[in-house]
Copies of this chain bind each other. A is one copy, B any other.
Amino acid sequence: MRIGELARATGTKAETIRYYEREGILPLADRTDGNYRDYSPEHLATLTFIRRARELGFGMEQVRLLLDLSDRADKPCEEVDLMVEGQLAEVDRKIADLTRLREELSRMLRSCQADRIGECRVVESLSGRR
**Interface residues of A, Cβ cutoff 8 Å to B:** 45, 48-49, 52-53, 55-57, 66, 69-70, 72-78, 80-81, 84-85, 87-88, 91-92, 94-95, 98-99, 101-102, 104-106, 108-109, 112, 114-118, 120, 122-123, 125-128
Contact = CB atoms under 8 A, between A and B. Distances in A.
B88 A95 contact: no
A15 to B, nearest CB: 22
A88 B77 CA distance: 40
Contacts of A123: 66, 69-70, 77, 80
A49 B127 contact: yes
Nearest to A52: B126
Nearest to A58: B126
